[in-house]
């Protein structure tokens, strides 16, 4: 299973990457949406994409739209992992094609629960 973690915070990429590796994922990282699209196009679609909303160059919402524009609803589960907590923002992300939404700060258990909802981890 491949995952791509997209966040402009190196620390957040490290935290999410570690948690995903412990869950059995091969993890790649990108620091913004534009870089994520380059990784995505060069190495193929991951089965899981974790995306921050607020990033330079291309934000998470635009990335979700771009990925869904290329792949549609198949092959990749997308989870927004962000500090954006307003209901309107959650609705916008889901309407753009995100499958789940995890608010920062989060716990390991919270992330794993969202992955279970997506069918992206066992148990």
What is the third-level CATH fold of 2-118?
A: Rossmann fold (3.40.50)
Tell me how far apart the alpha carbons of residues 27 and 87 are, in angstroms, rounded to a whole number: 29
Dump pLDDT digits (tens) for 66-114: 999 988 777 799 999 999 888 999 999 999 999 999 999 999 999 999 9
Determine the angle formed by the axes of helices 108-118 and 10-22, rounding to 10 degrees. Answer: 60
Q: Partners of 48 in the beta sheet?
A: 3, 77
DSSP 96-120: HT-SEEEESS--HHHHHHHHHHHT-
Tell me how far apart the alpha carbons of residues 92 and 89 are, in angstroms, rounded to a whole number: 5
Tell me how far apart the alpha carbons of residues 103 and 41 are, in angstroms, rounded to a whole number: 27
Dump pLDDT digits (tens) for 86-95: 899 999 999 9
pTM: 0.94
Q: Among 108, 4, 110, which residue's Cα sits nearest to residue 51?
A: 4
């Amino acid at each position: 299973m491949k995952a791509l973690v997209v966040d402009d915070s190196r620390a957040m990429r490290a935290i999410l990457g570690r948690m995903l590796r412990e869950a059995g994922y091969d993890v790649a990282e990108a620091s913004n949406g534009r870089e994520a699209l380059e990784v995505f196009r060069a190495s193929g679609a991951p089965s899981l994409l974790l995306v921050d909303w607020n990033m330079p160059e291309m934000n998470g919402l635009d990335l979700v739209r771009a990925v869904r524009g290329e792949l549609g609803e198949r092959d990749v589960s997308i989870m927004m992992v962000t500090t954006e907590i307003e209901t309107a923002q959650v609705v916008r992300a889901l309407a753009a094609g995100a499958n789940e939404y995890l608010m920062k700060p989060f716990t390991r258990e919270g992330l794993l629960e969202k992955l279970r909802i997506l069918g992206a981890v066992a148990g």
